[in-house]
Amino acid sequence: KTTVARLVAARAGAILIRTDAERKRLAGLRPTDTSPAGFGEKLYTLEVTRRTYMTALGIAERLLTAGWPVLVDGTFSSVEERAGARELARRHAVPFTVLWCDAPDAEIAERLRRRAWDPGEVSDAGVELLPRHRAHYIAPTDEPDVIRIDTSVVIEHAVRDALGQLSGAPSLRRS
């Protein structure tokens, strides 16, 4: 998800806001500091997650007010989290789209294993959390403005697919 978000933001000229980095910043950590925890523990409690998303959307609001397009990279696991972002876009009269990056669990698990060895990685999510995450994730299947991206393909293809479906969205062009 983050790789797709980073590449889409760069190619669309949008500013990328990473919830993983904001979560660490709010805790007084550097983005690459590790803070491993079980599902729903430490930096990953519901309260910290709520604060993280409120902060990320606050940053997005300031950027939108200044006329910049933004892409917020986060799991947005619940309808409520996505509704907050959707409401922000509505208030600023900019188009809103959820890029739902999806892949089979085996593919996600392999990426998480590889990512664990990357010293520059910001996210603490590991393969051991995947089953709990999947169990608590509410997919945006019945929500408006959702583009489902198959990220089990070559990432470049997923990025092209996302950009192709987003093409023409005014929120991706600076005013």
CB under 8 Å, gap of 24 or more: what pairs does 21-27 form? 21/122, 22/52, 22/55, 22/56, 22/59, 23/48, 23/49, 23/52, 24/122, 26/51, 26/52, 26/55
The answer as to whether 173 is a domain residue is no
Mean pLDDT, range 85-102, rounded to an integer: 94
Give the domain range for residue 63: 2-168
pTM of the predicted model as reported, rounded to 2 decimal places: 0.86
Structure confidence by residue, pLDDT tens digits, 10-50? 999 999 999 999 998 999 988 888 776 655 567 778 899 99
The answer as to whether 17 is a domain residue is yes
In single-letter form, the type of residue at position 8 comes to V
The CATH number that applies at residue 100 is: 3.40.50.300
Could you give the angle at which helices 46-65 and 19-26 cross, rounded to 10 degrees?
110
What total number of domains does the chain contain? Answer: 1
Mean pLDDT, range 78-88, rounded to an integer: 95
The answer as to whether 174 is a domain residue is no
Helix, strand or coil for residue 78? coil
The answer as to whether 12 is a domain residue is yes
Structure confidence by residue, pLDDT tens digits, 136-146? 899 999 999 99
Q: Which residues pair with 72 in a beta bridge?
A: 17
11-20, 32-41, 108-117, 155-164: range with highest mean pLDDT:
11-20
The answer as to whether 124 is a domain residue is yes
The answer as to whether 175 is a domain residue is no
The beta strands (E) that lie in 60-172 are given as: 70-73, 98-102, 146-150
Q: Which residues contact 166 (CB under 8 A, 6 or more apart)?
A: 8, 12, 97, 99, 147, 172
